[in-house]
A and B are shown apart, each in its own frame.
Chain A
């Protein structure tokens, strides 16, 4: 059976091409879904959702706010409560937080500048659809690229990834979190960029998804 993943695209989403490529490299099928289309149905057609990075709606107002108000989220909220795997990368993570599916908010990076660089993150939780093929404590080389990555939450969330060296001031060195059920994961680093030029760490996210969906 072919596993189909919906890649949600909003106006201003930038990373959808390489995200689709990364998903397909792992042997899954990826289809672009236009987030503004009110007729879109995810259920029964797709087995997972990925929300890629970028600057949806220009990130004007609050990063991710406008996208979180788009029609596709009516269904995503429902699915998020039914163990349906959803991954938000960078802006996708911000959108998931703004929609309330994940809990937390983002402040400007501690250094007030946009940061794009390679760094290391540590896997803290392997009981999610996107980390089940990793090892706990494993260190992944990933690229970050954000200005509002300083994650904050009143309540300590379920932490999936932490930074080895915190680049943005996020609380508990958080690089990624999951929903309480574990099926929704959001992270600031970009797995889809870590699939070429000798670094394949990013592929593990989608190989995990494949494993999860094949054996569950």
Chain B
């Protein structure tokens, strides 16, 4: 909603009272969602360039060049607010929207990844939201034929009234095509393509730019869009076919604030004006001009092309059963002129709609509770009496348990490129080259790795360090499959920026991110900010979600995350008690806090490089990193992860050597210390491995071995059956819901 101050500013700009329609237009374009007014000045602190970055922030998605020349586009977006109001359509259209962002650049979408975060699975409502969000992503993503290759699913009490649904998409630009920009370099016809416009999603951008109140919700359902994955699938093919046959001037998705936002944005980016005629827009039902401008109906895009190419374009879209109409043109006037047939509806200077939109340096205040949260003394927490019991509690909690229930609903194998199960550290996608829109060329000698991560507990207790650790966790996930990190996309999910404490969190998230990315020399190439995740004055924990892209080149096969029998289990990296904001702390004591140690970037890089090198030499049998849950739960995952690929579980016997203080063994077995990887090495390669560690000065400790027995044992603490643990871990989530 526009503030009084913003209304005054509009009056000053146009020299009169704005009409009702004009107020709605400013409300949409100046919304947080469309204008980034609270985050803009801070986002400038992020590094965005590298010599392999071909398109960065400002475009619909970022594009990087891989070592073999393949151009990869990727971006993440949120659909938090709509998914809380109507989980199925909200999540489904979130998938549709991010696919079109990738498609805009002329890229074929080849993979999706989701980050979904809910309240604890206790109330029927939360179970419903969870099931329906997953179903929405499943039905849309599966039908549209883009695999969901990786995801993260969390359940924390802080998300009881604001859930998070973030979806990332990755695409490949066909080898013989140009990247299509959203910045038109010359004038042309504005062409509407895709599905018809209806009355759904009106006011969506404004809805997503304000907090929920208890009474609200139901009456905002019409601000949620309806998805049609079949139309989207046809749109993908039609757009790619068009891009391969016609030289397009620019392309833009119709996302938030629909037709209004896409037409103003494309004109503004080219420093042109635009003249549009809403009567030409294909409609499902009679609509008022303002409804046409604000509708967020799905599966629509905007193309700018030379008028003489129109018939050729129309033929392609008609063959795919889609609409295609010229709805306006770019002009030299610098004005945004909207007609309904002959009748001028309004005319406004474009710069006041976009460039002169207000930008705020909002007040920040460090929350008073931050210091006390960070000073929690863990020694005072009661000592768990039964190690087996507490271990089972951790591995069978929905936060840690297998996410099979979720990812088996996603078609993660379509397109025939996915080399890993979505439950692993990173997705590995073996690329084949696309030529034109429907041909593929040779199998490529390169694989893409993708990870998606967020950690609300870390970022709540320390947004600056927590964000750094979230990014490092992404990079460790890439390392686990043997990939080299290249670039990230980010989605910053936070509360109400008008609350100075939330603003303080936002700035710390961005600055923490900037710091670690500069140290690692990794750019951010695209992203999204979702604010106002707040209900009744309570904001969510700051939750930056990171989508990290890496490459494995040359590629034969990825390092797997699961053990084989007859191997040594090695902890590679630093072992220290890291219980601050850990999953163990949350699950056992319902608490979070403590001081997160500043990460050792130099060591992070050294260990990561070492693992990539060892992977190429074939010395490492498996690799998995220690993250939420801690050391022994990570070892447990490596013992059971093979089941996703149809393998058996593997028995493990761990020595107590890594428990440096036996009086607080819980601080070690559940330590989320970093960087730490759980590696397995075949017996006959151990010597070689140890000498490589010594040569590269990599800290390591042999902590146990894998055995051909039904056992999972930690010396002196517990000895359980791996087959029984597997069932508890694998079935936990479905048990909560069904």
Interface of A with B (CB < 8 Å)? Answer: 11-12, 14-18, 20-22, 32, 53-55, 57-60, 113-120, 141, 143, 145, 147, 190, 192-193, 195-198
Contacts and interface: CB of A to CB of B under 8 A. Distances in A.
Interface in B409-432: 409-417, 419, 430, 432
Nearest to B238: A11
B518 to A, nearest CB: 36
Given A12-B234, A116-B409, A17 B416 contact: yes
Contacts of B231: 58
Contact of B416 (A18, A59, A147): A18
Given A11-B320, A17-B415, A55-B229, 9 more contacts: A12-B143, A14-B414, A15-B415, A55-B233, A59-B143, A113-B135, A114-B139, A114-B409, A115-B408
Interface residues of B, number: 36
A62 B230 CA distance: 14
Given A114-B411, A143-B413, A196-B419, A119 B143 contact: no
9 contacts: A17-B415, A17-B432, A21-B432, A53-B414, A54-B414, A55-B230, A58-B230, A58-B233, A114-B409
B438 A32 contact: yes
A116 B645 CA distance: 12
Contacts of B414: 14-15, 18, 53-54, 145, 193
A198 B428 CA distance: 14
Given A12-B143, A114-B138, A114-B142, A141 B415 contact: no
Contact of A113 (B234, B237, B409, B557): B409
Contact of B233 (A14, A21, A118): A14
Contacts of B320: 11
A118 B646 contact: yes
A196 B417 CA distance: 8
Contacts of B114: none
Contacts of A58: 143, 228-231, 233
Contacts of B417: 18, 196
Contacts of B410: 114, 116
A115 B557 CA distance: 25
Most buried by A among B228, B430, B440: B440
B416 to A, nearest CB: 3
B390 to A, nearest CB: 31
Nearest to B558: A197
A60 B646 contact: no
A141 B646 contact: yes
B321 interface: yes
Given A55-B142, A196-B430, A11 B233 contact: yes
B331 to A, nearest CB: 36
Contact of A118 (B234, B409, B430, B645): B645
A195 B228 contact: no
A23 to B, nearest CB: 12
Interface in B300-335: 320-321
B145 interface: yes
A145 B229 contact: no
Q: Give 10 closest A-B pairs by Cβ, nearest first.
A: A58-B230, A18-B416, A14-B145, A55-B143, A145-B411, A197-B419, A118-B646, A114-B409, A193-B413, A116-B411
B413 A190 contact: yes
Contacts of A20: 440
Nearest to A115: B408
Contacts of A119: 646
Contacts of B440: 17, 20-21
Contacts of A18: 414-417
Contacts of B228: 58
A114 B407 CA distance: 10
Interface in B225-241: 228-231, 233-234, 237
Contacts of A147: 142
Contacts of A116: 142, 407-413
A16 B645 CA distance: 24
B145 A15 contact: yes
B416 A12 contact: no
Contact of A17 (B138, B144, B407, B438): B438
Contacts of A118: 644-646
A24 B582 CA distance: 50
B418 to A, nearest CB: 8
A59 B145 CA distance: 13
Contact of A197 (B321, B412, B430): B430
A158 B407 CA distance: 33
A12 B413 contact: no
Contacts of A114: 138-139, 142, 408-411
B145 A21 contact: no
Contacts of B321: 11
B557 A12 contact: no
Nearest to B143: A55
Given A17-B415, A141-B646, A11 B145 contact: no
Contacts of A197: 419, 430, 557
B527 to A, nearest CB: 29
Contacts of B419: 196-197
B127 to A, nearest CB: 14
A15 B143 contact: no
Most A CB contacts (10 A, CB to CB) among B229, B231, B409, B416 go to B416
B143 A115 contact: no
A11 B142 contact: no
Contacts of A54: 145, 414
Interface centre among B138, B234, B411, B419 (most CB of A within 10 A): B411
B408 A117 contact: yes
Nearest to A57: B230
Interface in B119-172: 135, 138-139, 142-145
A21 B138 contact: no
Contacts of A115: 408-409
A200 B76 CA distance: 34
A193 B414 CA distance: 8
Contacts of A57: 230
A197 B428 CA distance: 11
Given A11-B230, A198-B557, A145 B413 contact: yes
Nearest to A58: B230
A195 B416 contact: yes
A47 to B, nearest CB: 22
